[in-house]
């Protein structure tokens, strides 16, 4: 359950789903298997070492082309299994079209 009392739906994959982790700046990339996912978090099995990688913030690439992705942070590591949470955009960062037009003087 979430803080506001809603039940979180989690999808668990019986065989896993091949995905990829990538650094925000693109300096590293690791293949992994997505075991379970919800709106807020996921569980991965990582292939290869994660030692020395900055996992404070990274991308989870959900498609081979990289067009479907989520910004993530590490929650917990247990051997090759990782729990991650999805980072949401900062509130108040988006501007309406009219506010943006007013800002640039259009």
pLDDT in tens, 7-33: 778 999 999 999 999 999 999 999 999
Instruction: Name every residue whose Cβ is closer than 8 Å to that of residue 60 and which is 6 or more positions away in sequence.
Output: 19, 20, 21, 34, 42, 44, 69, 70, 72, 84, 86
Could you read off the pLDDT of 43-90 as tens digits, one per residue?
999 988 888 888 999 999 999 887 999 999 999 999 999 999 999 876
Instruction: Tell if the pTM clears 0.95, that is, is over it.
Output: no
CATH architecture designation of domain 11-86: Beta Barrel (2.40)
HEC-encoded secondary structure of 7-65: CCCCEEEEEEEEEEEEECCCCCEEEEEEEEECCCEEEEEECCCCCCCCCCCEEEECCCC
Domain ranges of the chain: 11-86
């Amino acid at each position: 359950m979430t803080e506001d009392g809603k039940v979180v739906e989690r999808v668990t994959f019986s065989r896993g789903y091949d995905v990829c982790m990538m650094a925000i700046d693109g300096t590293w990339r690791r293949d992994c298997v997505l075991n379970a996912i919800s709106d807020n978090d996921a569980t991965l099995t990582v292939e290869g070492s994660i030692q020395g990688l900055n996992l404070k913030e990274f991308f989870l690439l959900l498609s081979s082309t990289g067009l479907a992705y989520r910004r993530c942070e590490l929650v917990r590591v247990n051997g090759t299994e990782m729990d991650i949470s999805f980072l949401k955009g900062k509130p108040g960062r988006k501007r309406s079209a009219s506010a943006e037009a007013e800002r640039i003087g259009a």
